[in-house]
Structure 1
Amino acid sequence: MDLDLVVKNGVIVIASEVLPHGLQIGVKDGKVACIGINLPTSTNTQVVDAEGAYITPGGVDSHVHLAQKNSPTGDGWEAGSRSAIAGGTTTIIAFASQEREDASLYPVLEDYHAKSKDQSYCDYGFHFILTNPTDEILRNELPVLAEKEGITSVKLYMTYEAMKLNDRQVLNILFACKTLGMTTMIHAESHDMIALIIEGLEKNKNTEPYFHAVARARIAEDEASYRAISLAELADAPMLIVHMSSEIAVQHVRDAQTRLLPIHAETCPHYLFLLSEKIKGESHDHFSGAKHVCSPPLRHDPKDLDGLWQSIANGTFTTFSSDHAPSKYDAPGGKRLGLVDGIPRFSKIPNGLPGVETRMPLLFSQTPACQSPEKARLSLPRFVQLTATNPAKLYGLDGKKGSIAPGYDADFVVWHPGSTGACTISQSILHHDMDYTPFEGMQIENWPRYTILRGQVIWDQSNGIVGKMQYGRYLKRGMGQVLHGKTGNLPQGWREDERRYWL
């Protein structure tokens, strides 16, 4: 076989194991053709020498916000996808967001296709954000869009006035998505709890950015997560709770998984590495804490971080995503919307942090590739599960993305050998279109040396971005898999025949 690419002299890591040193990856026509020893090469074969470094699947970041109307200073497709490949991510799934007045999803999709076409360095897909889930959309549009466009996941909000759905609407969507085999994602925070606290804080003139973390109290996430799980249990439908930040909320997920409910959980880098002290800002500029405003907020207690790390290691979390939802700090329409006539108003600060580029290096730095065994927080196979394999399976890309195996797209990250990839995160080295990073000054132990997408080197740290923007392809996805538990359960305390009386 005349191979197009051979990656040699590396240590391949997949979701189940670390393969023996010395295996090579052969690529033909953008796919993994074989894994073997002493693969044949010709003058037409490009050879990438890993020099003893680890090789992991290209990252799948399944929670990325790009070019959304409600984030006018956020990243567009060009900058967001460029940033992704520089950090080892070869596939992103972003959000086509329905607004309240949108009576159909077809114009929403058309607009989002127009924004992304020929604008991406990496492969990509879409989720729908549903804010107006009419019967027409649920019964007639979603089935067509799932089959013809491969959009097989939706996201719902339990908070934000412009986006929140009530419990009945959530149930209607869960039933519809279950019938279609679609994945339902949910942002779980109690809107009424948060609104009540915000009113009190503003009445008492406590409006500095830090009070964002007070307003969106952990109990609001704990309660809404439990309620979301209960709604999913009633509907007997799979659910993913996104960007979880509370140890108690994650325990609700763990308990549900123990009962074999199909409940999945996601967390993000900022909830593993940062605390609410960051929102206090600099001593000379308290408003600079606005750079760290996101929802759910950064938590106060290091115990929350420890609890999340335990859930990273023990399998409770299904995916690890960036929730790249950036707003510039020093730009009209950005974070400084929270300065009203010179007075800080945390409730006006746009939510979200940049992080698509730093997601994989931050987590990889906590594996035995970079830490001693007693200090490593997760195994290398677990890293692959969280950053690539699980999101690919959950969102209908299994067999194409998320693993290194014959027939899969030839998407790889080649890391630096040993400690040669260590560096300090700085805004100056990143490739997004933001004016800050929340991880400024953090030391990480490795960075992708090469990012390879469908057999093409698109990031070479020595030379920077070497891929072409138009190389990224839209991905028509299949139906996702249930990775925790199963459907067919009865809510606790029900008899076998209770559902048939009302369904």
Structure 2
Amino acid sequence: MSHGIDFVIHDGRLVTPDGVIEGDLAVADGEIVSVGKPVLDAKTHISAKGKLVMPGGVDPHAHIEQMSGMGQWNADTFETATRSAAIGGTTSVISFAAQASGQVLADTVADYAARAARGAMIDYAFHITLTDISVPKFERDFADLIGAGHRSLKVFTTYNIQLHDAELLKIFRQAREAGALVCVHAENDAIITQAKEALISAGHTTPRDHARSRPRMAEIEAVERICRFSEYLDQPVMLFHISTSEGAKAVRVARDRGAPVWAETCPHYLFMTEEVLDRPGLDGAKWMCSPPQRNVTDQEALWHSLQDGTLALVSSDHAPYRFDETGKLAAGPEAGFHQIANGLPGLETRLPLMFDAMVSKGRGGPEGFAELTSHAPARLYGLQRKGRIAEGMDADIVIWDPDKTVTYGENDLHDNVGYNPWKGFSVNGWPDQVILRGRTLVKSGEFFGIPGSGQWIDRPVLATQPTKQEGAPA
């Protein structure tokens, strides 16, 4: 076995799906070939003494080089976003191929594939965002793209790109036939519209009013409805960015009934509350996202839901906009919350924030951290060679220094956003070396990525395939 080993990592604690073990980790030709067994002969030897050897992070929810529903490009290209992701310990990302109004689906995916091929420095896949199902060749392109390995799609129940109930049911049925996971931004548009219009009429348009413009009931109603749609058609669904205790409870109840429903949350719901929006002038706009941050009670409910398996994973929902006229302030210095792009950067900070909470502070330990940030997203979205320290897997590896503490600064991220929403937040634990398919991307703060070196991840099947339930249409 020793001949042909490119490198071996010695003396680290290896975080595997079967637990934490001590031993060597050997890599050859970009693949993990040995876990835990002594390996003496290799071209390169890496010491991980006192460190944790983890799978590379899998972030299944990020907006990259994408135009928003408001017609604004976000701040990041695939080059800047994936550089930021890698420095934060993420080696695989699923971003969006977002259909423009009237655009043929095949053209949508081709456009994003070209952008990623040009700039991506980590491996990637796409969720196909559906906004217009009336375009030519829709059903044929839909089935062909899923069959070609694009196994997930996204729909909205709000914004000007929402699909209505009849359209959603149609997509759910087609996804079931083709073998795809439907991801949903679930908020009730009518509730949001009523709340927003009342606030604007009363002159309450500051960033802090954004939280009131998206009432928790908007999430609760839409999550419950989508769970019922999933249950009715036996179609696997991933509910994005759960922010409320009631939303998590709705998922739990649906799963207990046997509905094929999964859900995620994000660090800004686990570590921030809506008070973060209450800042002078428009400064709070930096933290505006949808759904908005909630309260401490919701945070605890979300943590409980992660621990009991109701929520399957933690994504970043990286949605980067600069705090200037190209981004958050595009409508001018007097903009109301309804004119400000929603979203904040998170690709680089997701893993250190979660490592600090789960490993350093004990809210789940190394195994729990790896499950929520690598194992589960890879498994549920069909990234078959990603997310695990195991023989035969891609050598996507992160060596974590559990003793390094970093306090985030004003503008110390490596994306193109220009500010860090976690300024002043200290994390204990840091990705010291990041390896993608056996090649070092980051080591001791130095970045070695090459634009275009990331590879598209084919997903021939999903782990979330439906099983016929009583009462579901055949």
Match of residue 11 from structure 1? 13
Match of residue 31 from structure 2? 31
Q: Give yes or no for contact 2:264–2:312 (8 Å, CA) kept in 1.
A: yes
Q: Partner letter of residue 293 of structure 1?
A: M
In 2: Cα distance, 1:99 partner to 1:118 partner = 21
Deviates more, 1:105-114 or 1:128-137: 128-137
Helix, strand or coil at the partner of 1:447: strand
Selected match of 2:344 from 344, 349, 353 = 353
Q: Partner letter of residue 488 of structure 1?
A: K
| Deviation sequence 1:355-406 (CA, Å, 0-9, x none) | 0000011001112x412xxxx22232121111111111111112x1010111
Selected match of 2:360 from 364, 370, 378 = 370
Q: Give yes or no for contact 1:61–1:92 (8 Å, CA) kept in 2.
A: yes
Match of residue 132 from structure 2? 132
Structure 1 residue 136: deviation in Å? 5.8
In 1: Cα distance, 2:229 partner to 2:299 partner = 27
Match of residue 375 from structure 2? 389
RMSD: 1.6
Match of residue 271 from structure 1? 269
Structure 1 residue 110: deviation in Å? 1.6
Where do 4+ consecutive residues of structure 1 move more than 4 Å?
135-138
Identical amino acids, percent of aligned pairs: 35
Does residue 196 of structure 2 align to residue 198 of structure 1?
yes
Q: Structure 1 residues 138, 263: closer, same or farther in 2, change over 3 A?
A: farther
Q: Structure 1 residues 31, 255: closer, same or farther in 2, change over 3 A?
A: same
Helix, strand or coil at the partner of 1:90: strand
Alignment of 1:187-336 (within 5 A): 187-281=185-279, 285-299=280-294, 301-330=295-324, 332-336=325-329
Does residue 85 of structure 2 align to residue 84 of structure 1?
yes
In 2: Cα distance, 1:47 partner to 1:317 partner = 38
| Deviation sequence 1:326-349 (CA, Å, 0-9, x none) | 11012x23111354xx43310010
Match of residue 445 from structure 1? 428
Q: Give yes or no for contact 1:312–1:378 (8 Å, CA) kept in 2.
A: no
Structure 1 residue 216: deviation in Å? 0.2
In 2: Cα distance, 1:383 partner to 1:315 partner = 13
Structure 1 residue 204: deviation in Å? 0.6
Q: Give yes or no for contact 1:15–1:382 (8 Å, CA) kept in 2.
A: no
Helix, strand or coil at the partner of 1:210: helix
Match of residue 469 from structure 1? 451
Selected match of 1:404 from 385, 389, 410 = 389
Structure 1 residue 487: deviation in Å? 2.7
Match of residue 434 from structure 1? 417
Structure 1 residue 427: deviation in Å? 4.0
In 1: Cα distance, 2:157 partner to 2:17 partner = 33
Structure 1 residue 135: deviation in Å? 8.2
In 2: Cα distance, 1:325 partner to 1:468 partner = 23
Give the aligned length: 469
Q: Partner letter of residue 410 of structure 1?
A: A
Structure 1 residue 456: deviation in Å? 1.0
Structure 1 residue 286: deviation in Å? 2.7
Helix, strand or coil at the partner of 1:62: strand
| Deviation sequence 1:246-300 (CA, Å, 0-9, x none) | 110110001111122210001111000001111112xxx331000011000111x
Q: Give yes or no for contact 2:147–2:178 (8 Å, CA) kept in 1.
A: no
Helix, strand or coil at the partner of 1:435: coil
Deviates more, 1:245-254 or 1:257-266: 257-266
Structure 1 residue 63: deviation in Å? 0.4
In 1: Cα distance, 2:142 partner to 2:74 partner = 30
Q: Partner letter of residue 336 of structure 1?
A: L
Alignment of 1:140-151 (within 5 A): 140-148=140-148, 150-151=149-150
In 2: Cα distance, 1:392 partner to 1:360 partner = 15
Q: Give yes or no for contact 2:413–2:419 (8 Å, CA) kept in 1.
A: no
Structure 1 residue 106: deviation in Å? 1.2
Q: Partner letter of residue 435 of structure 1?
A: G
| Deviation sequence 1:304-332 (CA, Å, 0-9, x none) | 011011111111111211000111012x2
Deviates more, 1:441-450 or 1:63-72: 63-72
Helix, strand or coil at the partner of 2:203: coil
Where structure 1 has 5 or more consecutive residues not aligned to the other structure, the ranges are: none
Match of residue 96 from structure 2? 95
Selected match of 2:460 from 478, 482, 490 = 478
Q: Give yes or no for contact 2:210–2:288 (8 Å, CA) kept in 1.
A: yes
TM-score by length of 1: 0.90
In 2: Cα distance, 1:266 partner to 1:338 partner = 32
Structure 1 residue 137: deviation in Å? 5.1
In 2: Cα distance, 1:24 partner to 1:429 partner = 34
Q: Structure 1 residues 129, 384: closer, same or farther in 2, change over 3 A?
A: same
Q: Give yes or no for contact 2:102–2:135 (8 Å, CA) kept in 1.
A: no
Q: Partner letter of residue 298 of structure 1?
A: Q
Structure 1 residue 73: deviation in Å? 4.1
Q: Partner letter of residue 426 of structure 2?
A: Q
In 1: Cα distance, 2:377 partner to 2:135 partner = 29
Structure 1 residue 185: deviation in Å? 0.1
Structure 1 residue 138: deviation in Å? 5.3
Helix, strand or coil at the partner of 1:265: strand
Q: Partner letter of residue 269 of structure 1?
A: P
